[in-house]
Structure 1
Amino acid sequence: MPRFNLKHIEAFVLVADLGSFRRAAARLNTTQPNISNRISQLEQHIGQVLMERDAGSVRLTREGRALLEPARRVLASVDAFAEAAGGGAAFEGVLRLGVTELVAQTWLRRFLLRMKRDYPAIDVELTVDLSENLSSALFSRDLDLTFQNGPFDRKARFTEALGRCPHV
């Protein structure tokens, strides 16, 4: 049996994050059967079932939940290696970014200029909208990242406070 590789781990993390083989396939520019095959090969190689598959839904098993964070760390290490080896040019793809009008009118331009300088192969698809709509798009996985102001009715897995802005 061939060893598993980064494509298997990447597929596992994306299916877990996106909750769908189809969405993971779209994100990786491949087919749903290819993603399903990668997950099956990974499960066979490690001898554990990582996901329960039902019609249209995917849930991590106990083993899948236990291995998700180590898998994320593997991918983060690969990104760190690529960054050290070649800078931001090693990253490519599309970032679907959502921002509020406050962000768009204040510091977004500086952020996008720096992003283009540091990560020239990443294209940003920008959405400017209300926080409520951005939150919905983020949780439905239509956006990858949002810069928005609170308060929030729910919290994303990776949330970072960027600062405070007084309302005038």
Structure 2
Amino acid sequence: MNRKEITRFLSELLVKKRLSGMGKYYASEVTMDWYIGKITHTMRRVDFIQFVPKNQTVSGIEHGDFYFYEVKSCKEDYNSGNGLTFEGDKNYIITTAETYKKIIKDVDYDVGVLIACPVLREIKDEIENPTQIDGNIDDWILKTAKNAHSKNRERPLSQLLFFMLRSGK
């Protein structure tokens, strides 16, 4: 598979296995800081943002968590300077085991890594000897190669929800 196909596979896998379902809220290709007043900021985009409320009460929604996900198909993609926007309560890179082995030393302490792994395969075996991606999402799952550590986000809930809503996806 080429870089574009791997990115599409990882994105579809993330949506199907982690972001979809009852009570799950997410948006893709979320643009942040596009334009603020007369000051133009560098536009930043995050591949996916997920909002997880504590519950459906006002307090539960106000205290919900935001998860940021960046999909990286290869080391060049990781180092491209595009899309390492990590401003959530928890932040993750979604990648393949092969790419994980190449970037692990560059990943910030608090950023987690989820790798595509065949459903019946142990993650340590996948990291040691990566499986060629075949494109069949039903045979794959995302497994945690590195845990994300919670961090204090700087943006308010209303602003992040607005960015998600504005993305339209």
TM-score grouping bracket, smaller chain normalisation: under 0.3
Structure of greater relative contact order (alpha carbons < 8 Å, 6+ residues apart): 2
Structure with the higher strand share, 1 or 2: 2
Instruction: Pick the structure with greater CA Rg.
Output: 1
User: Please, what TM-score do these two structures have when normalized by structure 1?
Assistant: 0.24
